[in-house]
Amino acid sequence: MTEEFDPRKSYLAVKANEKMIAYVGFAVQLEADGNSKEGIVKISSLHRPYGGGYLTLTFIVDKGRDDILKMQLEKLCDTITEGSLRPHLGKDFEKMVKVDLNMLEEIKGWYIEEINVYFRTIAEREKVLVEEKLLPALECILPCKFEPVEWWPKGRKTELSGDAQIEEQISLKGLFKKWFGSGS
């Protein structure tokens, strides 16, 4: 018996193991006259047992119904390639993978672009890789300017007791799993 491949389900399963580590605002210049658009990048990471891993950068821009803006953003994002990143990222850079989120589900009104950047060593180096390598590289490749990175706090200082149990009791955990791939 063959099981039908569900790309959306597979994507969410893969993404469930990533951890959001930071977010950063940016402004991208769209035209020579200075017309720019603001957006936000979510930064996640995944560590492999051997010490390597990847950073996922998810670019989020509200585009409304503006198809011209969408085309401009697509054209800009096309310039992010392994070839354009490599000179900026050094010998630790392995490869870059782009994920076409529109293939999974089109979200009307939003332009979302995701890139996964693989490094040979990533553990304890995320801050350096993001602030000193990746974002400066993207500022060289794209006509954009990033704001200071907002690093996500590492977990709660004290977890509320029985949190998972509480969520189970009110039967929302399944709903969270459905929406976010993970209930925690």
Partner 1 sequence: MPLKVKSTTRGPGVIIVSPIGSIDAHTYSVLDEKIDEILKQQPDIIIFDMEFADYISSTGIRVLLKTKKALKETDGRMVFMNLQPQIQKVFDILKAIPTLKVFASIEELDNYLDVMQKAAQK
Query: Toward partner 1, which CB reaches closer, 91 or 108?
Result: 108
CB of 62 to partner 1, least distance (A): 4
86: part of which helix (H) or strand (E)? helix 82-89
User: Taking CB under 8 A as the rule, does residue 68 contact partner 1?
Assistant: no
* Residue 58 or 89 with smaller CB distance to partner 1: 58
Q: Does 107 bind partner 1 (CB under 8 A)?
A: yes
SS3 of residue 16 by DSSP: coil
How far, in Å, CA of 119 to CA of 102, rounded?
26
Half-sphere exposure of residue 61: CA atoms within 13 angstroms, side-chain side: 26
Residues 19-58: x/- map of binding to partner 1 (CB under 8 A)?
Answer: xx--x-x------------xxx-x---------------x
Torsion sign, CA atoms 16, 154, 99, 92: negative
CB 77 within 8 A of CB 111: no
Give the footprint of partner 1 on this chain (CB under 8 A).
12, 15-16, 18-20, 23, 25, 38-40, 42, 58, 60-62, 101, 104-105, 107-110, 112, 150, 152-153, 156-158, 160-162, 166, 169-170, 172, 175-176, 179-182, 184
